[in-house]
Structures are given as structure tokens and as C-alpha cells.
């Protein structure tokens, strides 16, 4: 069974500090000093979207690309105070503790706008986390960034979505040509493009440029400013090739576009007619195109759909009929197939490889990178055996997780450190009537509220206090010292008055 990747828990980069990559749930490890987000897809922000999320350690930050931060803050503005954008392909020193500083480099992953790979240099070696990625150009060591090849990579956490020899499909350029040919071959039909919530904008733009028609996108689809740089380098492509649904439906029927982007989860035979309402040619049988790499895998494994071979040599799975509408699945994927994963691992030459994408339980062992790609790993390491270290850390983290889930275990551990023979048990004082005192006594708290006084007792206490003050004042007035002081004051007043009497009157 595959060892859990970084999306299962935090990763220790130093004896006193850990980092978390696409992991947002509370963990037993309280020393997570930095968080990294590879991209803003929904399955990578699970836990981050909970209300009032904050780092476990005060002052920890979320590091990501500028595009991802823009998408993150647009959806959850309160996270803006925690998110920090880092420049791609540039080393950044991040100080985790007073003794630990790591160097982080973000590399474009090619999965969707803003997706990055995270390269961490720390005291416990070098870690490369690909996130979800597809880089067709990283097929040799000479084409890798210098930051990756300058030293051995101890831990490689690989996108294992299609990590199986049966997962084979062409590159995205070939799949894009197939989608364009299908759109050009059906000029008088409404066309649906099933895409993700983030990504595949380059496919929509390629279809728009080839067909000469704008592609409609939902009104609530987020388009950050960095999309333009990801696509063409300017904002003109958004105005010319992409149109909002409300704007498209406000146009005249003959001026509307016949191509619409919809969430791929909604593309079903019973929903085709509903999804094409408001498009041009909406009375004709629709054509839905699903660009996903699973189409090639499912057709090869199950064979439930009709398969046709295109002019580009691709197997296209088609469901439905010409009267109600067709659903064509094209192997256009944002994840790397097995052949590209194999070439990437051979180029990186890591010491150990793990999977970072969780698949279903039945297929987890089948898609384990350690099973298929371990023979491509190098045997040289900059530190001690990374696989043994990571296995020990995983076992320790599991034990910490179990202890954190059960408070009773923690109490048992604390009690086991106390010598029972030296403990003297004293029963608390329990008053008879009030139930509050009984509950407090059961918890080991002695509850003694002040005794209440009657109104007669209160009046008697006030009178006694008044008489006591009056007696002290009277004693101070009638004392011998007070009389002497008063006589001295009288003599002083008399002498003071006589000082103003003329000399001839003083003789009288």
C-alpha cells in the first residue's frame, strides 16, 4: 500500500518545525510554521474553507502564486491576511523558527492557472511536491530548472492520478486539435464544453479562434487578472473570445454564439437539452465534449461506449444518439499520463518517490508510484536514508494523531506518571442542601459561598459601625493633647490681633 503523501499530514523539515502542503485540517503536530497551496481547485482547499480558519501556530502564512492568491481571496476575503504570494522560479528564504530557515522555490506545474510545484530545501533534505501537474517539456534532466538539478532530491511527492501503465493518452496539443475538428464538423449544432471550475481556458480560446465564434462562460466563473498572462499576455483575449452568459442571452438570436462552457459534472444525456437553452441552434441535437483523461482509461478498461478513431489517431468515446444529442469524451487532461510521469522521474532522479494524490481505496495500490517508478530513483542522498526517515516520521505522526483524538489517552498518560502511594485522598466539604455545591464537590471543588445576613443583622452592623466612628471622633476632640493644641491656637490668634494695635493704645 502506498505511503500517505503530504496531503495526509504535515511534513517535518526540521526537528522543531513542520510544513503543510494542501493540508488544512487540525493535526496532532503543533509545530506547523508554514502552509503551501499548490492551486485553488476544490479538492486542494478542503478544510481551508471552514469558517474562521487560522493557522495552528500564530504568525504562520499560506504561500502560493499570485494567481492562486487572487482566486483564494476572491472566494474567501478573510484569508487575505494569511496568504502571501511568491514569485515563480526564484528562491525565497522563509524563517520558521529562531534556529530553522528553509529555502522555497515555486515552479510552474502547468496544471491550471496559478498551479505550482513546491521545492523545499531544509535541514532534513530536499523535498519536491508536484501537486497536480502536467509539464510535457520536463522529459529530460537538461530541460529541468536549475533549482531542481543542482542537488539530489530526497523526497519526490508525485501526482499519481494516472500512475499506471494503462493510463496512456496523447499530449494536450493533439487533444486540442481533436476538439477543434469536432466543433468544425458540427457547425449547425449547439456545442457544450464540459470543463472544471478553474483551468482549460486555453482550450476554450483555441476553439474560439478556430471556429470564429465566441465561447460562452458562466457569469459566476472567476477570471482573475492573471488569466490573461497565462493565456496570451494581454486582456484582449477575454473580451474577444470569452463572453458572459447574461451578455450572450441579451443579444439577438442570430448574433449569439453556439458554444457554451458548463461544469463537467452536469454533462449527462438527460441534461443536454436543458444546458443548451439560449444558445444559437438550440433546436438542433446538441453535441457535448468532455475533455478528460479518464475517457481513454474507461474506454480501455470497461468498453461501455462506442469508440471511433479520429484523424489524429485518438480513440474518442461517444455516448447517446444523433436525435437526443451526443457526448464525446476526448483525452484532454490536466494531469500527466504514465509515460510523462516516467520521463519526469527519470529526469529528476530522486532518492525516494511517493504519491501525493489520494485515489479510491481499491486503486490506491495500483497507482502507487513506488511500485512502478522506484527503479528510476537514485541511490545517492544528501542526508540519511530519506525513505527510512519518512517512514519513522509517518509512524510517529500516526501515534500522535491517535493520542490527539482521545483525551482519555492523554489523561491516562498523565496519571501514569504519578506515584499513587504518595497521593492522599481528602474528601471535599459538601454542604447538605444546594445542588450546585454537590456538583462542585463531585468535581473536587470546595464551594463555600458567603453567609447571608438578615435585615436586622445588617442594620445592627451599620449602627455599630456608626457608633464606633463617632466614639473615635469624640475621643480625639476631648483628649488632653487636643485641648493643648486648641489653647496654642487661641494664644496665636490673640497675639496676631495685638500686633496691629498702635503703640500709644497698647500702654492704656
Ramachandran assignment for 273, one of left (phi > 0), alpha (psi -120 to 50 degrees), beta (any other): alpha
Tens digit of each residue's pLDDT (9 = 90 or more) over 102-151: 999 999 999 988 899 999 999 999 999 999 999 999 999 999 999 999 99
> Residue 219 in contact with residue 243, Cβ under 8 Å?
no
Interatomic CA distance for residues 324 and 375, integer angstroms:
50
What was the pLDDT predicted at 412?
Answer: 45
What is the DSSP track for 104-125? EEEEE-SSSTT-EEEEEEETTE
> Residue 240 in contact with residue 234, Cβ under 8 Å?
no
What distances in angstroms separate CA 261 from CA 17, 147, 266, 273, one per listed residue?
44, 38, 11, 14
Tens digit of each residue's pLDDT (9 = 90 or more) over 120-130: 999 999 999 99
Cell of 179: 476538439
* Nearest Cα to Cα of residue 235 among 245, 225, 243: 225
Residue 352 has pLDDT above 60, yes or no: yes
What was the pLDDT predicted at 405?
Answer: 46
- Mean pLDDT across 73-81: 89
What was the pLDDT predicted at 398?
Answer: 47
Tens digit of each residue's pLDDT (9 = 90 or more) over 199-241: 898 899 899 989 999 999 888 776 665 454 455 544 444 456 8
Instruction: Note the CATH number of domain 11-165+336-408.
Output: 3.60.15.10
Instruction: Note the CATH number of domain 172-330.
Output: 3.40.50.12650
Strands of 155-158's sheet, edge to edge?
92-95, 101-108, 116-122, 125-129, 155-158, 352-355
Domain ranges of the chain: 11-165+336-408, 172-330, 463-506
* Nearest Cα to Cα of residue 21 among 133, 157, 135, 151: 157
Domains 11-165+336-408 and 172-330 share a fold: no
**Average confidence score pLDDT of the chain:** 78
Residue 246 neighbours by CB under 8 Å, 6+ apart: 219
Amino acid at each position: 500500500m502506498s505511503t500517505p503523501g503530504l496531503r495526509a499530514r504535515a511534513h517535518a523539515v526540521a526537528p522543531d518545525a513542520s510544513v503543510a502542503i494542501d493540508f488544512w485540517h487540525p493535526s496532532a503536530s503543533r509545530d506547523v510554521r508554514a502552509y503551501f497551496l499548490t492551486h485553488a481547485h476544490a479538492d486542494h482547499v478542503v478544510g481551508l474553507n471552514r469558517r474562521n480558519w487560522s493557522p495552528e501556530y500564530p504568525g504562520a502564512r499560506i504561500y502560493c502564486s499570485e494567481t492562486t492568491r487572487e482566486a483564494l481571496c476572491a472566494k474567501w476575503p478573510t484569508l487575505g491576511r494569511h496568504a502571501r504570494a511568491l514569485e515563480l522560479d526564484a528562491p525565497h528564504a522563509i524563517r520558521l523558527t529562531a534556529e530553522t530557515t528553509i529555502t522555497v522555490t515555486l515552479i510552474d506545474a502547468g496544471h491550471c492557472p496559478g498551479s505550482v510545484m513546491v521545492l523545499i530545501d531544509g535541514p532534513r533534505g530536499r523535498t519536491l511536491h508536484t501537486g497536480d501537474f502536467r509539464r510535457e517539456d520536463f522529459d529530460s534532466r537538461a530541460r529541468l530548472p536549475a533549482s531542481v538539478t543542482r542537488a539530489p532530491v530526497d523526497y519526490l511527492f508525485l501526482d499519481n492520478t494516472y500512475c499506471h501503465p494503462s493510463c496512456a493518452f496523447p499530449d494536450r496539443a493533439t487533444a486540442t486539435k481533436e476538439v477543434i475538428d469536432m466543433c468544425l464538423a458540427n457547425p449547425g449544432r449547439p456545442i457544450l464544453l464540459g470543463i472544471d471550475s478553474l483551468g482549460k481556458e486555453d482550450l476554450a480560446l483555441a476553439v474560439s479562434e478556430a471556429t470564429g465564434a465566441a465561447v460562452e462562460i458562466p457569469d459566476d466563473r472567476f477570471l482573475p487578472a492573471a488569466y490573461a498572462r497565462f493565456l496570451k499576455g494581454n486582456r484582449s483575449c477575454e473580451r474577444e473570445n470569452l463572453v458572459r452568459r447574461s451578455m450572450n442571452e441579451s443579444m439577438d438570436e442570430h448574433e449569439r454564439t453556439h458554444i457554451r462552457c458548463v461544469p463537467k459534472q452536469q454533462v449527462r444525456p438527460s441534461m443536454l437539452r436543458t444546458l443548451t437553452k439560449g444558445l444559437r441552434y438550440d433546436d438542433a441535437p446538441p453535441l457535448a465534449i468532455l475533455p478528460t483523461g479518464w475517457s481513454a482509461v474507461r474506454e480501455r478498461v470497461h468498453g461501455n461506449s462506442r469508440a471511433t478513431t479520429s484523424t489524429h489517431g485518438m480513440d474518442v468515446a461517444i455516448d447517446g444518439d444523433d436525435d437526443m444529442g451526443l457526448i464525446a469524451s476526448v483525452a484532454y487532461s490536466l494531469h500527466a499520463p504514465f509515460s510523462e510521469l516516467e520521463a519526469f522521474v527519470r529526469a529528476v532522479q530522486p532518492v525516494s518517490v511517493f504519491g501525493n494524490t489520494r485515489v479510491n481505496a481499491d486503486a490506491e495500490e495500483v497507482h502507487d508510484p513506488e511500485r512502478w517508478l522506484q527503479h528510476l530513483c537514485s541511490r545517492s542522498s544528501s542526508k540519511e536514508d530519506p525513505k527510512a526517515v519518512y517512514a519513522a516520521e509517518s509512524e510517529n505522526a500516526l501515534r500522535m494523531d491517535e493520542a490527539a483524538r482521545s483525551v482519555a489517552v492523554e489523561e491516562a498518560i498523565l496519571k501514569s506518571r504519578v506515584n499513587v502511594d504518595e497521593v492522599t485522598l481528602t474528601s471535599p466539604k459538601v454542604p447538605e442542601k444546594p445542588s450546585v455545591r454537590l456538583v462542585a464537590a463531585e468535581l473536587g471543588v470546595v464551594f463555600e459561598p458567603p453567609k447571608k445576613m438578615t435585615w436586622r443583622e445588617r442594620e445592627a452592623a451599620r449602627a455599630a459601625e456608626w457608633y464606633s466612628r463617632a466614639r473615635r471622633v469624640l475621643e480625639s476632640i476631648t483628649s488632653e493633647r487636643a485641648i493643648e493644641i486648641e489653647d496654642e491656637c487661641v494664644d496665636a490668634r490673640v497675639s496676631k490681633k495685638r500686633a496691629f494695635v498702635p503703640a500709644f493704645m497698647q500702654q492704656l
